[in-house]
Structure 1
């Protein structure tokens, strides 16, 4: 049976639409015990403190129709016992899960969940939204040229629409879209979405691949939960189309939206699987990242490991 998700702010997320995408991740600095309900100053650099929410931007209360309200603080549950699942898979990494309606954040390896990393192809989620909002892509079905140059993955050597480009993670097509959007509008939308550290670097067609852009797992679930509920500062139509691009599974009373990422411009390379589950009228946003040290052997653990974590935490029904 299909579950209806009400796309409006839950009590947990009732906040300014132009505020920080990370959901008061300062609570993640509340200690490594089972739960943290009060923030404390996190150690580290200014950028690390921002990634954990301690130095989050001031909400823009003057936007039309937007009322700034204090950020609610989720209960944070640290489940480092689940590191055993990472060890069993032979990888190192972190996992963050946000139960939006329940107001609870569950994390495995709190410090790593706060650490900003290269988003790689998980940025295609935000990039699809930006392309639709700016008109760089008219809709999900407009065919976008890949540029005609040889690509490291043969499947990318085709012109394709946004729907197929997301499905096969076609870097060349998204580089075409990035050139259409241009650096000025890309930066404006990074700021507007408050995406990670919001840094572009010099190349408009590389900044999410090997440039300066970074985002933490905790920030990923904040951004994704807001997309799932129509809470981003973007048009409902663009958000609806972006959600549709990410839908990969619908059965047994749940719907799964997700996107992979593999950033090999850093060492060790970083692998992602991020998205959300809609089940029983609830939204559960998740983000996993791992070190990829052994190529495909490690990369192939991203999806099954995340599914195991989602099953273990009761988000997905038992297989």
Structure 2
């Protein structure tokens, strides 16, 4: 399989792109309004976990935090990286589109649903690790290094092990950084083709309520202490975008469902979704 070459933006293009993100009307303008919602920490307590939540209202240019300090702290992204990883795979030519079947390798897996060759749109739904590891080996570590810098993703560090860096590190990102990434993807503003961004949006679509569509991906960093559960995404109303991300400390698989339960509860209490 041949891979598409990466076109490198000039320093001037990078600078102008970064500037546009904080000066363009309604898109992450400089010094936006912020609000800490300490009252919503009770949602985490009710579920017996500690964590944070952050959201950004694009039209109002308002950030909302539940534990801002933690929301700005970096952790290994685990499977939430599949959003960016899908984009990189498409742009690098590691997979032709969301329908191309990718082999999982034929080995026994901890989750039976992963023991099947599947397309990108199927693999992201069940968070198929071996399929994405196959794509990672096709992409290669240097191409990842280039794309992580280009996308300004977290600490931009893929390390040296091409099929594990988002599962065990050294790649790390914060909830705030994930929200910034999500806003740009939602509005087709990432330095990638509109085609690839549209495909990624389509495969992370979860559901629609009237004019509002929910896009999101879970993640679970299980290799370290503490173990971190993620839920990252956005709601698009057509006229506005509410990007969000949360993470929690997880001690057992039983905590997995709490990511969505906490996230949906907070989104509903903020009047954003639900």
Other-structure match for 2:266: 309
1:77 aligns with 2:35: yes
Paired residues of 1:149 and 1:157 also in contact (CA < 8 A): yes
Q: Which runs of 4+ in 1 moved over 2 A?
A: 59-71
Which has more helix, going by share of residues?
2
1:150 Cα deviation from its structure 2 partner: 1.2
Matched-pair contact (CA < 8 Å) for 1:203–1:211? no
- How do 1:1-319 and structure 2 match up within 5 A? 60-62=11-13, 68-69=19-20, 71=22, 72-279=30-237, 281-293=239-251, 295-317=252-274
CA distance in 2, matches of 1:216, 1:158: 32
User: Aligned partners of 1:70, 1:210: CA distance in 2, in Å?
Assistant: 30
**Aligned alpha-carbon RMSD (Å):** 1.9
TM-score, normalised by the number of residues in structure 2? 0.91
Contact 1:249-1:256 within 8 A present in 2 as well:
yes
Q: Which deviations, in whole Å up to 9, do the C-alpha atoms of 1:49-83 show, x marking residues without a partner? A: xxxxxxxxxx9433598584583221110111110
In structure 2, stretches of 5+ residues that fail to align are 1-7, 23-29
Please say if residues 277 and 284 of structure 1, whose CA atoms lie closer than 8 Å, have aligned partners that are also in contact.
yes
SS at match of 1:209: helix
Name the CA shift for 1:60/1:283 in 2 (closer, same or farther; >3 Å).
farther
Cα separation, 1, equivalents of 2:150 and 2:109: 32
How many Å separate the matches in 2 of 1:67 and 1:125?
21
TM-score (norm 1): 0.78
Counterparts of 2:17 and 2:50, CA distance in 1: 41
- Deviation of residue 297 (structure 1)? 2.2
Question: For this pair of structures, how many residues does the alignment match?
Answer: 260
Aligned partners of 1:85, 1:66: CA distance in 2, in Å?
37
Q: Distance in 2 between matches of 1:183 and 1:264?
A: 22
Give the Å deviation of 1:250: 1.0
Q: Return the alpha-carbon distance in structure 1 between the equivalents of residues 261 and 21 of structure 2.
A: 37
1:2-48 Cα distance to aligned partner (Å, 9 max, x none) = xxxxxxxxxxxxxxxx99xxxxxxxxxxxxxxxxxxxxxxxxxxxxx
